[in-house]
Amino acid sequence: MIGAVIGDLAAWTWEHDRKCFYERLVSPEARLSGYGLLPITMWPMIHEMGTIHKHRLYIVCGKVLAHSRAQGIDIPDLWHRWGLTDYDKAIPFELKVALIMSAVIDSGYLSERRQNELNWTSFFHGGKQEYYAARIMDILRRLNEGATKDEAIKDIPEPVINYYPSGSVHTWRDLLEYTTFAWRCFYYSFDFTSALHNAAKCTANRHLAMMLTGAFADAMYGNGYSMTKMKFGGNFEYIEFPSSLSNTLADQLRSIRLVEFNDRYIFKKNDALTNVERSTWTDIENQYSDRVIDKAFKEKMMIAYGTDWDNRYGVYLDNGWFYVYRSHHLLLRYKLSSQSDSTYRITKLQISNDEHARVEDLGEVLYSLNMI
Instruction: Show me where the domains of the chain are located.
Output: 2-262, 272-371
Cα four-point dihedral sign 145, 263, 257, 324: negative
The answer on pLDDT for 358 being more than 80 is yes
Nearest by Cα to 287 from 367, 345, 216: 345
Residues 6+ apart with CB under 8 A from 370: none
The answer on pLDDT for 188 being more than 80 is yes
Largest CA distance in the chain: 68
Domain 2-262: give its CATH architecture. Answer: Orthogonal Bundle (1.10)
pLDDT at 49: 74
The answer on pLDDT for 168 being more than 90 is no
The answer on pLDDT for 371 being more than 90 is no
Q: 362: number of CA atoms within 13 Å, CB side?
A: 21
pLDDT at 254: 97
- The angle subtended at Cα 232 by Cα 228 and Cα 234, nearest 5°, is 50
Instruction: State mean pLDDT over 2-21.
Output: 98
Instruction: State mean pLDDT over 216-237.
Output: 96
pLDDT bin (cut points 50, 70, 90) of residue 169 is confident
Cα 286 to chain centroid, rounded: 33
Question: Using the 8-state DSSP alphabet, how is residue 92 labeled?
Answer: P
Phi-psi region of 294 (alpha: psi -120 to 50; beta: other; left: phi over 0): beta
> What pTM does this model have?
0.97
SS3 content of the chain, % helix, strand, coil (to 5): 50, 10, 40
Express each pLDDT in 287-298 by its tens digit: 999 999 999 999
Express each pLDDT in 35-63 by its tens digit: 999 999 999 999 987 789 999 999 999 99
Nearest by Cα to 268 from 364, 87, 363, 146: 146
CA gap 109, 118 in Å, rounded: 13
